[in-house]
Amino acid sequence: MRKRAGPITQSGSLMSHPRIDVLTLGNAIVDVLAHTDEAFLVSKNVHKGAMQLIDEARAEELYNDMGPATIVSGGSAANTAAGIASLGVRAGFIGKVKNDETGNLFAHDLKAISVHYDVALAGDGPATARSFILVTPDGERTMNTYLGACQNLTPDDVNPATVEASAIVYLEGYLWDPPAAKEAFRKAVTIAHGAGNKVALTLSDSFCVDRYRDEFLGLMRDGSLDILFANIHELQSLFQTSDASTALAALRDEKVLGVVTRSEQGALVVSRGETLAVPAYPVAKVVDTTGAGDLFAAGFMAGLARDLSLTDCARLGGLAAAEVISHLGARPQASLLDLARQEGLLS
């Protein structure tokens, strides 16, 4: 009989290890990245640093007008799964693509890095999703996302056996937009907790929080979540305050383990008992911040899977984030496992 995952203790320990350490659920997206300048953002009326949902016509307009592009598989939760796999930890992903050229590229890229992916590709409907990511000289990224086939993720795409076999089920806040995907989200939560596993949520984006604040708070307070990932701006949006200290104090009162990133100021791991501060890893040059939060979450949860302390989980997250912001694209270009060993975080 498979052993079920035990509780996450204050030291960060997972008491047993199912077949998949971390299963991520999210929008399956292929990223189209290009360097640009502030003037282009203004000309296209896009909000710097935010994620905006766009339709297919707007997607084609941006693609035609943006500069030379790099095309890579992406999507927030899929990037997290890629980072987890790069750290030598068993990862899986649930998300929907179409059986088209872009969708097959996405599925191939996951399987090539040993991420478990068993969702059937759609035979009809909208094209595989794309996110047009405009990177300014300061490394800030502005995302314009056509969700396409992502919106067709349904509860039928959530394989109960896969969820039951996963110690942590990690959900991206962006997935809360399409109604059917929201039901897939809730199905995964129910199955995970029924199997004794843990559930984590990333808030994803301040604008996402603005749309679904009450529902996200409800998920924390009804016991659906065990771990909450957020950057400090998303957390302030969640608790409707401009003061970071007030937002952190509110998080301490919730029944979740909070993991809060603060860019170059590092991260905080927040619980009712204590708040642990961990500095950011130094980066020689910030090239592209796309995926920084995704990879931080990857490192943190990989640390949990490897029974590291919460402080070392945050350090591993910081290392993963530092690697990904040092180059264009939201997935690791170097072995995170090798880097972690060089830094003495893993043996």
Residue 334 belongs to domain with CATH number: 3.40.1190.20
Query: Which among 316, 295, 294 is positioned nearest to 305, based on CA atoms?
Result: 316
Q: Which domain holds residue 205?
A: 20-26+75-119+148-342
Q: How many domains does the chain have?
A: 1
| 194 belongs to a structural domain | yes
- In angstroms, what CA-CA distances link 245 with 10, 118, 223, 273, 276? 22, 42, 24, 16, 14
- Residue 201: what pLDDT? 98
- Residue 15: what pLDDT? 38
Q: Locate 45 and state its tokens.
A: 């009326």
Q: Locate 267 and state its tokens.
A: 């991260």
Q: Locate 28 and state its tokens.
A: 């399956």
Q: Locate 99 and state its tokens.
A: 């059986």
Strands 227-231 and 198-202: parallel
Q: What is the pLDDT along the chain (347 residues), one digit of tens a residue?
A: 233 334 444 444 443 445 999 999 999 999 888 999 999 999 999 999 888 889 988 988 998 999 899 888 989 999 999 999 999 999 999 999 999 999 999 999 999 999 999 999 999 999 999 989 898 998 888 989 898 998 899 999 999 999 999 999 999 998 898 889 999 999 999 999 999 999 999 999 898 999 999 999 999 999 999 999 999 999 999 999 999 999 999 999 999 999 999 999 999 999 988 999 999 999 999 988 889 999 999 999 999 999 999 999 999 999 999 999 999 888 999 999 999 999 999 98
Rounded CA-CA distance 65/288 in Å is 20
Query: Which among 289, 208, 160 is positioned nearest to 27, based on CA atoms?
Result: 208
Tell me the per-residue pLDDT of 193-207, one tens digit each, with 9 for 90 and over.
999 999 999 999 898
| 88 belongs to a structural domain | yes
Rounded CA-CA distance 28/78 in Å is 7
DSSP string, 15-60: SS--SEEEEEE---EEEEEEE--HHHHHHTT--TT-EEE--HHHHH
Rounded CA-CA distance 325/79 in Å is 13
Query: Which among 152, 194, 195 is positioned nearest to 175, based on CA atoms?
Result: 152
Q: Locate 298 and state its tokens.
A: 């990857």
| 62 belongs to a structural domain | no
Judge whether 91 and 85 are in contact, CB under 8 Å: yes
Alpha helices in 122-271 (DSSP H): 160-164, 179-194, 206-221, 232-238, 244-252
The neighbour count for residue 42, using CB atoms within 10 Å, is 10
Tell me the per-residue pLDDT of 257-266, one tens digit each, with 9 for 90 and over.
999 999 999 9
| 38 belongs to a structural domain | no
- Residue 4: what pLDDT? 35
- Residue 7: what pLDDT? 40
| 137 belongs to a structural domain | no
Q: Which stretches does DSSP call E strand in 59-126?
A: 70-74, 91-94
Judge whether 326 and 286 are in contact, CB under 8 Å: yes
**What residues contact residue 57 under an 8 Å CB cut-off, 6+ apart?**
none
- Residue 18: what pLDDT? 54
Rounded CA-CA distance 67/50 in Å is 19
| 80 belongs to a structural domain | yes
| 156 belongs to a structural domain | yes
